[in-house]
Amino acid sequence: MQTGISIYPGLDNSFEENAQLIDTASQNGITRLFTSFHIPETNISRFKAELGELLHFAHQHHMEIISDVSPGTLKLLGMERFRLSSFQLLGIHTLRLDYGYSIEEIAELSRNTQHMRIQLNASTITSKILTDLLIQKADFDNIDALHNFYPREGTGLSEETLVRKTAMLHKAGIQVGAFIPSQYRRRSPLRAGLPTLEMHRCCSLSLAARHLAAMGMDSIFIADSLPSDEEIQTLSRLRDKQVTLHAKLLTNDTLQIELLKHTFTSRVDEARDAVRTQESRTFLTDTILPENTKIRPYGAVTIDNKDYLRYMGELQIIKRPQPADKRTNVAAQVLNDDTFLINYIVPGKKFSFEFI
Judge if 62 and 210 occupy the same domain.
yes
Residue 132 is part of which domain span?
A: 2-241
pLDDT attached to residue 79:
85
Judge if 216 and 309 occupy the same domain.
no
Tally the domains of the chain: 2
Quickly count helices (H) and strands (E) in the chain.
11, 15
Judge if 13 and 66 occupy the same domain.
yes
Judge if 174 and 58 occupy the same domain.
yes
Mean pLDDT of the chain: 96
Judge if 287 and 302 occupy the same domain.
yes
Give tens-digit pLDDT for 268-325: 999 999 999 999 999 999 999 999 999 999 999 999 999 999 999 999 999 999 999 9
| Residue 239 in this model has a pLDDT that exceeds 90 | no
pTM: 0.95
Judge if 6 and 113 occupy the same domain.
yes
pLDDT attached to residue 81:
85
Judge if 222 and 249 occupy the same domain.
no
Last residue in a domain, options 207, 241, 275: 241
Last residue in a domain, options 191, 214, 241: 241
* CATH number of the domain enclosing 348: 2.40.100.10
CB distance 59 to 88 below 8 Å: no
What is the DSSP secondary structure assignment for residue 320, as one 8-state letter? S
Strand pairing category for 176-180 and 117-121: unpaired
Q: From CA 322, how far away is CA 314, in angstroms rounded?
A: 16
Give tens-digit pLDDT for 83-113: 899 999 999 999 999 788 999 999 999 999 9
Last residue in a domain, options 241, 257, 279: 241
Q: From CA 245, how far away is CA 277, in angstroms rounded?
A: 15
